[in-house]
């Protein structure tokens, strides 16, 4: 499709001025496309869907309904931030769906990584479809498709993700205002739209969320160990300015226990794995050389603050032979 091709004359959006010109152009285009009709958007709180939400709120206000599905696999504080930024600050029409039990019940006992991913993807579509059917008179579905998604689905690297897969009777017309932008341009536009830095400059995060970092069958206690240790890691990276130097950093909790000792008593608990990598394109990646005293600080905080954890490991394997994520 011709309109899915980025014109060669289109300048890279690198400055607030260029971003503002893009925003003005898109607001006019969105108002012309949507008119007085209603739009639906699955808002994860990631950069792409957040920028699309902010554009649409400016263009058509409460004709937009955002649906935020909390599948229980988001990082600490993320659902709260989506509600704060979009409902409270931007006055968006936001439907918050607490689907935590639904997802975790479906995932109980499932250890195969691909099956876990499929369950999460399918359940997401089911929850979103249920919400879409409750709303009346929706004509458009907005999506945070960006240019690499279009390029990659063309050469078959990945199936087009987002909310493709809705039943045919819900045949909404698509609204994809950032589909010709690269990720760095989406960030400049997001910043210019006034979204918070920790939303705009967020590190990459898999669609299945913490589900891929809770290796094997997900249990609630191990998922909490991933979420809490990730929150500590992010806090320490931010405090030490490492969030600006390291491309991706997170924790993983494997599904085995080892022996430890606390207050003179034997413990049998989970290990937490730290991962901190730099990469240009995620195809290959190098471990970031963390300062040893910093690593020890992480070990001290994680083993004392996260329940059911007695050991911390640091994964320094490059990609290849490892992948960035563990699953």
Residues contributing to the site for ligand XMP (CB under 6 A): 204, 206-208, 248, 282, 319, 323-325
Q: How far is the CB of 255 from ligand XMP (least distance, A)?
A: 18
Nearer to ligand XMP among residue 145 and residue 303 (C-beta): 145
- Rounded to a whole number of angstroms, the CA Rg of the chain reads 21
Nearer to ligand XMP, 45 or 208 (CB): 208
Residue whose CB is less far from ligand XMP, 44 or 192? 44
- The candidate with the shortest Cα–Cα distance to 273, out of 196, 326, 234, 194, is 326
What tokens does 197 get? Answer: 């830095």
Cβ contacts of residue 110 below 8 Å, gap of 6+? 116, 119, 217, 218
For ligand XMP, the closer CB: 131 or 325: 325
Which residue, 48 or 185, is less far from ligand XMP as judged by CB? 48
For residue 282, the minimal CB distance to ligand XMP (Å) is 4
Q: Which is nearer to ligand XMP, 38 or 202 (CB)?
A: 202
- What whole-number distance in Å separates Cα of residue 180 and Cα of residue 299? 43
Question: Strand order in 173-175's β-sheet?
Answer: 93-98, 64-70, 38-42, 138-142, 173-175
Looking at the DSSP bridge assignments, the partners of residue 65 are 40, 93
d(CA 69, CA 135): 15
3-state secondary structure 4-61: HCCCCCCCCCCCHHHHHHHHHHHHHHHHHHHCCCEEEEECCCCHHHHHHHHHHHHHHH
We find the least distance from the C-beta atom of residue 105 to ligand XMP, in angstroms, to be 21
Complex with ligand XMP: residue 207 or 260, whichever CB lies closer: 207
**Shortest distance, position 107 Cβ to ligand XMP, whole Å:** 15
Query: By C-beta, is 204 or 287 nearer to ligand XMP?
Result: 204
Rounded least distance, CB 322 to ligand XMP, Å = 8
CA distance 251 to 223: 11
In whole angstroms, the minimum distance from the beta carbon of 208 to ligand XMP comes to 5
Give least dist CB 143 to ligand XMP, A. Answer: 14
- Look up residue 244 and give its DSSP letter: G
HEC assignment per residue over 128-176: HHHHHHHCCCEEEEECCCCHHHHHHHHCCCCCCCCCCCCCCCCCCEEEC
In whole angstroms, the minimum distance from the beta carbon of 120 to ligand XMP comes to 9
């Amino acid at each position: 499709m011709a309109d899915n091709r980025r014109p060669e004359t289109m300048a890279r959006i690198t400055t607030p001025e260029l971003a503002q010109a893009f925003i003005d152009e898109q607001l006019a285009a969105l108002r012309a496309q949507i008119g007085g009709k209603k739009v639906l958007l699955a808002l994860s709180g990631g950069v792409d869907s957040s920028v699309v939400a902010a554009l649409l709120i400016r263009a058509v206000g409460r004709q937009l309904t955002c649906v935020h599905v909390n599948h229980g696999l988001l990082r600490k504080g993320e659902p709260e931030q989506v509600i704060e930024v979009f409902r409270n600050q931007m006055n968006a029409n936001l439907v918050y769906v607490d689907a935590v039990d639904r997802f975790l019940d479906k995932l109980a006992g499932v250890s195969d990584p691909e099956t876990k991913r499929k369950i999460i993807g399918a359940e997401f579509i089911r929850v979103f479809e249920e919400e879409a059917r409750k709303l009346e008179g929706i004509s458009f579905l907005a999506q945070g498709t960006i240019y690499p998604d279009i390029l990659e689905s063309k050469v078959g690297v990945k199936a087009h993700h987002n909310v493709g897969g809705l039943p045919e009777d819900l045949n909404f017309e698509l609204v994809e205002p950032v589909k010709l932008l690269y990720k760095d341009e989406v960030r400049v536009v997001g910043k210019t739209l006034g979204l918070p830095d920790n939303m705009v400059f967020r590190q990459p995060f898999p669609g299945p969320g913490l589900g891929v970092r809770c290796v094997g069958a997900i249990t609630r206690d191990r998922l909490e160990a991933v979420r809490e240790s990730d929150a500590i890691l992010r806090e320490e990276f931010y405090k030490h300015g490492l969030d600006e130097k390291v491309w991706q950093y997170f924790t993983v909790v494997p599904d085995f226990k080892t022996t430890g000792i606390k207050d003179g008593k034997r413990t049998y608990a989970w290990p937490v794995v730290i991962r901190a990598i730099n990469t240009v394109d995620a195809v290959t990646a190098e471990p970031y050389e963390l300062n040893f005293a910093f690593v020890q600080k992480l070990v001290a905080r994680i083993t004392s603050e996260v329940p059911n954890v007695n050991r911390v490991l640091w994964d320094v394997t490059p990609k290849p032979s490892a992948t960035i994520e563990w699953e």
